[in-house]
């Protein structure tokens, strides 16, 4: 699977995870942020360039790219956004990327 296809699958997984979380728990009141970080060997590698084209940005950490709010939620619920970020990172990990979800309370 190409990187672009993997990222598209990850976006779908994030949106689905957020919808399932919202259906089961609503939108918990705890406000915050969630994002996905991917460690890349070089930020000018083919895979890194494809991730950048898909919406990732260079992170403040060297050799790392990040994508905030991958599920696209307009909610302030950190737990809701975290569900989407976890699902997104899982798809990338299954494709061989060193990806993980991060959160921060507001």
For the chain, the domains span: 3-105
CA distance 42 to 103: 24
Nearest by Cα to 97 from 59, 72, 63, 55: 63
Nearest by Cα to 77 from 87, 67, 85, 66: 85
Query: 45-83: per-residue pLDDT in tens?
Result: 999 999 999 999 999 889 999 999 999 999 999 999 999
Question: Can you tell me the mean pLDDT for 34-54?
Answer: 94
Predicted local distance difference test score (pLDDT) of residue 81:
97
Question: Can you tell me the mean pLDDT for 31-47?
Answer: 94
Cβ-proximal residues to 93 (8 Å cutoff; 6+ apart), any chain: 99, 100
The answer, yes or no, to whether residue 15 has pLDDT greater than 90, is yes
Question: Can you tell me the mean pLDDT for 74-103?
Answer: 97
The answer, yes or no, to whether residue 1 has pLDDT greater than 90, is no
């Amino acid at each position: 699977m190409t990187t672009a296809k993997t990222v598209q699958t990850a976006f779908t997984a994030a949106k689905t995870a957020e919808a399932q979380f919202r259906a089961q728990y609503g939108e918990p009141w705890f406000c915050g942020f969630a994002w996905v970080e991917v460690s890349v060997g070089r930020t000018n590698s083919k895979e890194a360039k494809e991730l950048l084209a898909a919406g990732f940005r260079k992170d403040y950490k060297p050799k790392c790219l990040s994508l905030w709010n991958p599920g696209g939620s307009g909610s302030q619920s950190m737990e809701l956004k975290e569900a989407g970020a976890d699902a997104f990172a899982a798809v990338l990990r299954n494709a061989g990327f060193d990806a993980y979800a991060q959160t921060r309370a507001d």
